[in-house]
Amino acid sequence: MQIIPAIDIKDGHCVRLRQGEMHTATVFSEDPAAMAQHWLELGAERLHLVDLNGAVAGKPKNELSIREIVSVIGEEIPVQLGGGIRDLDTIERYLDDGISYVIIGTAAVKNPGFLHDACSAFTGHIMVGLDARDGKVATDGWSKMTGHDVIDLAHKFEDYGVEAIVYTDIGRDGMQSGINIEATVRLARAVKVPVFASGGLASIDNIKALMQYEGEGIAGAIAGRAIYEGTLDFKEAVKAAKGGAAAAA
């Protein structure tokens, strides 16, 4: 199982939010590319980027920072990106820039035809982000709740050909209260594509608990505030996640 550092970009800086609220931003680095290099050196096997301004605006807002990250990382590890991706031209531009996977969130919910077209045009490069609270999906940088059930949408998007699902429990994101393992496992069992857990990863115990279900489709967990504040040691987290069944026992 992979432990994937998140680099959330707001106004060109690497920040963390609490429950997706923009006014709660804590700046952890003014140089996202240097932060990407830091996580690479500590053993990251994948990076998770979010254009926070883009998620709210509905169009890319931090492309310069994203390009700088890709130039630093090169082709050493995959980089996945979400936030403000609403059209095929944007996807093509990001893939040309060196992004490995594009994550479509709000646009997938509001315009499923776009997601379907994206999966057809860029096979193998499209992931979907499902952000939820109490099993219902949120959109627009988590500012709007919908009546859509997470698992119903996951089935639909799986049929379109998405490569993987990033599942975020909004209520836990940035709170270090522990990943919502029950909801994540329920989703992973319901689909065949890999699921990446996000929101609230706080401890090695969280990782070990998730790893018990690795064989059921949980491919990794995205780490945010805990690794930035040092309450979760990233190198130890990676080591634990590579421990397989022995670590989970």
Backbone dihedral region of 9: left (phi > 0), alpha (psi from -120 to 50 degrees) or beta? beta
| Nearest in space to 78 (alpha carbons), one of 174, 181, 171, 2 | 2
Nearest C-alpha neighbor of 201 from the set 42, 62, 48, 41: 48
The reply to whether 134 belongs to the active site is no
HSE-up of residue 106 (Cα within 13 Å, Cβ side): 20
Assess whether 8 carries a catalytic annotation: yes
Catalytic residue, candidates 8, 51, 169, 173: 8
Which residue from 226, 232, 221, 113 is spatially nearest to 167, judged by alpha carbons? 221
Instruction: Say which of 51, 131, 169, 173 is annotated catalytic.
Output: 131
Quote the tokens at residue 35.
């932060």
Residues 6+ apart with CB under 8 A from 66: 9, 49, 51, 60, 81, 94, 97, 99
Active site residues: 8, 131
